Amino acid sequence: MATHHTRMLIIGSGPAGLSAAIYGARAAMEPIVVQGLQPGGQLTITTDVENYPGFRDVVQGPWLMEEMQAQAEHVGTRMMWDTITDIDIAGGSPFRAVGDSGDEYIGETLVIATGAQAKWLGVPGEQELGGKGVSACATCDGFFYRGKKVAVIGGGNTAVEEALYLTNHSDDVTLIHRRDELRSERILQERVFGNDKISTLWNKTVERFIGDPLQGGLTALELNDTVTGEVSTFPVEGAFVAIGHAPATGLFKGKLEMDDSGYLTVEPGTPKTAIPGVFACGDVMDHTYRQAVTAAGTGCMAALDAERFLATLEFAKKEAREAAE
Ligand code: FAD
Ligand code: NAP
């Protein structure tokens, strides 16, 4: 067990955390990034990224995150293979966090960039058949369904991208959505509607995942038609749940303000939480935009504000010392 001290402790290694680290390191704050269970964050579970500025051609999510990490380390960031399990912020700076490893992290400022996690439907069979036909990541698991009939549940960008990705492995992909209109960007919708490997089932909710986890896994979905109320069985070997993400804020319950959906609350237009010296950036505080570039942008803002906070704190300490002399 070790204790690590830093002027800027960053929890999370997605675009928000790594951008904060790049700015923090360049401001001589010697940041520590605690990476968590998903080093590189959500973009490591996707393939093509076409909208991150600076690249004329499509880049791969995992590659982009490796580059961000390399840049952060190059300018002096320390990356830690650990997950924060407890945090003490009520007493103000310095803040103390404890990792799964037992190590302790003391940060004069704290940047929370814990992002978001995939949501599940919470219906019977989903948990039992997880990894046996039910998944939340086509790019991770799509390969296992080569040549099989698969379904994607959801209507946002993630669902549409998952469906498109799955056509690399399957000629029979069905997108199942609870409404009759997709939420995803128009350009992605056009790709789905123009792809003859993808069918759509509108106004359907999945009520149950059917199959035996010990024998063959998922075999079908029980569907409910939201318009007619008709219940049907849809045979399928793989189902990808892509209904969005929930902010990873369990660690901060009762310690920081959150909105009704669990997103951290910040002073509007800034990454400042109600506790001076604690900043939140990226998807953990943004339920509207949730993009890599906005996460990176707010990560930058968090680092700049952390630097200002420390400068003010140091100035106040200096004045107090001088007054005492
Ligand atoms: P995340 O990327 O979610 O990273 C969170 C980090 O926090 C992770 O490293 C995790 O390990 C860490 N963490 C969590 N809890 C702890 C803890 N207790 N201790 C330590 N670490 C912890 N956006 C785009 O702009 N373009 C795209 O093409 C695009 N494609 C996407 C495809 C998919 C499949 C998904 C799911 C999202 C996509 N997005 C895309 C959205 C984009 O990935 C997110 O907006 C972005 O990753 C958010 O960055 P973040 O740093 O806030 O959080
Ligand atoms: P999202 O935009 O919140 O969409 C979630 C979808 O799942 C919606 O269509 C929603 O239906 C449906 N849904 C939610 N709960 C459901 C339930 N219980 N049962 C059935 N369906 C349910 O989430 P996302 O697609 O994961 O995207 C998250 C963010 O990441 C977005 O900001 C997105 O732009 C971004 N992202 C960007 C890209 C890209 O730029 N290429 C790629 C992926 C993700 P309703 O429509 O009826 O609400």
pLDDT tens per residue, range 18-51: 999 999 999 999 999 999 999 999 999 877 788 8
Tell me, in angstroms, the distance from the centre of ligand 1 to residue 283's CA.
7
36 CB near ligand 1 (under 6 Å): yes
Q: For residue 243, give the ligand 2 atom closest to its CA.
A: 7
Of 47, 206, 290, the residue with max ligand 2 atoms within 8 A of its CB, to mutate for a pocket test, comes to 290
Are 192 and 167 in contact by the 8 Å Cβ rule? The answer is: no
CB of residue 9 inside a 6 A radius of ligand 1: no
Q: For the whole prediction, is pTM greater than 0.85? A: no
How far is C-alpha 143 from the chain's CA centre?
Answer: 22
Evaluate: CB of 41 within 6 angstroms of ligand 2.
Answer: no
Dist. CA 175–CA 156, nearest whole Å: 11
The pLDDT value recorded for residue 315 is 86
Angle between helices 186-193 and 157-166 (to 10 degrees): 30
**CB 61 near ligand 2, within 6 Å:** no
Please choose, from the candidates 8, 47, 48, 11, the residue with its C-alpha nearest in 3D space to the C-alpha of residue 28: 8
Asked if 150 contacts 240 with a C-beta cutoff of 8 angstroms, the reply is yes
The position carrying tokens 């149950």 is 208
Q: Does the beta carbon of 114 sit less than 6 angstroms from any atom of ligand 2?
A: no
Q: Which residues of the chain have pLDDT under 50?
A: none
The protein residue with its alpha carbon nearest to ligand 2, atom 24, reads: 244
Residue nearest to atom 36 of ligand 1 (CA): 42
8 Å CB contact between 49 and 60: yes
Q: How far is the CA of 126 from the centre of ligand 1 (A)?
A: 23
Q: What is the mean pLDDT of the chain?
A: 95
Per-residue pLDDT, 288: 80
Domain locations along the chain: 3-118+245-324, 134-241
Is the minimum distance from the CB of 161 to ligand 2 under 6 angstroms?
Answer: yes
CATH topology assigned to domain 134-241: FAD/NAD(P)-binding domain (3.50.50)
Ligand nearest to the CA of 291: 1
Q: Is the CB of 45 under 6 A from ligand 1?
A: yes
For the annotated catalytic residues, the residue numbers are 137, 140-141
CATH number of 3-118+245-324: 3.50.50.60
Q: How far is the CA of 310 from the centre of ligand 2 (A)?
A: 38
